[in-house]
């Protein structure tokens, strides 16, 4: 399979043998398409067209130089995380990617190790009690992810004979899997050539090659095209590139305080050359607080339930001690029930689902 850039999606299965940076519209599809559809498909810009043909060639040359520096840096500076270097299964890679969404990697490691020890594959997780799954998720945050991951496991065990699929569209159809997770599995677990695009990669690439700050939010067409243009053509090198750039963004090219003196790309970094304009800027949005929010109250309720013996119940009176606002408390209890994270018992007590 040749993975190909195609519009806003990162990859699509492409069996025509075309270049990985061409839109994967097939000739046979074009023959059956209406004139209007044909025109729209022909108009789809390639990554080179998005960044500019001449600029794309310059970026490719810069990327080849950057690859040499990144490869050396990766060998000496990458963290020895338990899911790296072929030490886990594709399912283990997916579990790691779901856990690490909006969660620091240092917090993920002990939870991932305990999780994979208890449920090493999709089938074992699919058969687990929901209460045990929620308990094992602990304080990773956004606990609905735990149940979505179990739903994903049920599909993989039932429909794919307990083997994680390796086609982009099949991965995207799984619960809890989006574009980033599907791309990460294809690259890190299956060794496919695909641009993996997360916040760290976007920031590092935008700074190093465009000389501007990535402002967060949704990935722009330019950022997506850049990721494909600079991605090495050789499959094995593309996997190393994705891992190294992501690690660079996490450890060195950080959002507010980049450690440029430790960066292997500093000599060629366009952001450094430009004087680091707009360092740390983000798209304007209200600052999110945590204390007193529904998210905090929900977390407190779940933590109290996890601390009980298996099957134990939390009375409503006990829950009232976790939140002084009765209206907010009832709203949070109702939302936890709607998400399937708790069961409401007679007398308004609650427990983790069976």
Domain boundaries, the chain: 2-48, 90-163, 294-351
Phi, psi of 224 (to 5 degrees): -65, -45
Q: How many residues are listed for the chain in this entry?
A: 354
How do the pLDDT tens digits run along the chain, 354 residues long? 545 555 444 444 443 333 333 333 332 333 334 444 434 445 688 999 999 999 999 999 999 999 999 999 999 999 999 999 999 999 999 999 999 988 889 899 999 999 999 999 999 999 999 999 999 999 898 899 999 999 999 999 999 999 999 999 999 999 999 999 999 999 999 999 999 999 999 999 999 999 999 987 889 999 999 999 999 999 999 999 999 999 999 999 999 999 999 999 999 999 999 999 999 887 645 555 778 899 889 999 999 999 999 889 999 999 999 998 889 998 999 999 998 999 999 888 999 998
Q: What is the pLDDT of residue 248?
A: 98
90-163 placed in CATH 3.40.50.410:
no
Q: What is the pLDDT of residue 122?
A: 98
| pTM (two decimals) | 0.80
Q: What is the pLDDT of residue 318?
A: 93
- Coil, helix or strand at residue 286: coil
Look-up: residue for tokens 């970094």?
269
Q: What is the pLDDT of residue 217?
A: 82
Catalytic residue among 53, 58, 69, 97: 97
- Coil, helix or strand at residue 13: strand
Per DSSP, what are the bridge partners of residue 145? none
Q: What is the pLDDT of residue 308?
A: 92
Q: What is the pLDDT of residue 283?
A: 61
Other CB atoms within 10 Å distance of the CB of residue 190: 17
Q: Which helix (H) or strand (E) holds 2?
A: strand 2-3
Q: What is the pLDDT of residue 5?
A: 57
Provide the angle, in degrees to the nearest 10, between the axes of the packed helices 53-77 and 221-230.
70
Q: CB–CB of 127/205 below 8 Å?
A: no
How far apart, in whole angstroms, are the C-alpha atoms of residue 92 and residue 168? 17
Q: What is the pLDDT of residue 4?
A: 53
Question: Going by C-beta distance under 8 Å and a sequence separation of 6 or more, which residues neighbour residue 250?
Answer: 105, 200
Determine whether 97 is an active site residue.
yes
How far apart, in whole angstroms, are the C-alpha atoms of residue 269 and residue 184? 25
Which stretches of the chain are DSSP H helices?
A: 27-32, 35-42, 47-51, 53-77, 90-99, 105-118, 122-126, 130-137, 144-159, 168-172, 179-184, 199-205, 221-230, 235-251, 270-273, 294-306, 316-320, 326-338
Half-sphere exposure of 325 (CA within 13 A, CB side): 12
How far apart, in whole angstroms, are the C-alpha atoms of residue 24 and residue 85? 31
């Amino acid at each position: 399979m040749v993975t190909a850039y195609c519009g806003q999606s990162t990859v699509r299965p492409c069996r025509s043998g075309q270049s990985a940076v061409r839109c994967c519209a097939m000739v046979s599809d074009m023959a059956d398409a209406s004139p209007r559809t044909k025109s729209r498909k022909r108009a789809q810009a390639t990554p080179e067209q998005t960044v500019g043909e001449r600029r794309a060639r310059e970026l490719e040359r810069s990327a080849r130089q950057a690859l040499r520096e990144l490869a050396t840096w990766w060998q000496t500076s990458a963290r020895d995380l338990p899911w790296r270097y072929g030490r886990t299964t594709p399912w283990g890679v997916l579990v790691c990617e779901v856990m690490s969404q909006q969660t620091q990697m240092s917090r993920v490691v002990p939870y991932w190790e305990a999780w994979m020890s208890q449920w090493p594959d999709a089938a074992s997780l699919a058969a687990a009690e929901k209460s045990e799954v929620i308990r094992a998720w602990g304080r990773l945050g956004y606990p609905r992810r735990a149940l979505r991951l179990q739903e994903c496991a049920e599909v993989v065990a039932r429909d794919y004979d307990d083997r994680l699929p390796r086609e982009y569209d099949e991965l995207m159809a799984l619960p809890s899997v989006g574009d980033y997770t599907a791309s990460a599995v294809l690259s890190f677990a299956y060794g496919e050539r695909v641009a993996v695009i997360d916040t760290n990669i976007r920031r590092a690439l935008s700074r190093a090659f465009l000389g501007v700050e990535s402002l967060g939010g949704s990935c722009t067409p330019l950022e997506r095209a850049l990721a494909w243009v600079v991605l090495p053509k050789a499959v094995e090198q593309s996997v190393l590139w994705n891992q190294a750039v992501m690690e660079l963004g996490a450890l060195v090219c950080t959002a507010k305080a980049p450690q440029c003196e430790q960066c292997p790309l500093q000599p060629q970094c366009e952001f450094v050359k430009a004087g680091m304009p707009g360092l740390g800027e983000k798209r304007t949005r209200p600052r999110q607080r945590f204390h007193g929010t529904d998210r905090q109250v929900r977390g407190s309720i779940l933590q109290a339930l996890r601390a009980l013996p298996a099957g134990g119940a939390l009375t409503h009176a006990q829950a009232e001690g976790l939140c002084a606002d009765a209206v907010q408390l009832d709203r949070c209890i109702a939302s936890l029930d709607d998400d399937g994270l708790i069961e409401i018992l007679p007398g308004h007590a609650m427990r983790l689902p069976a």
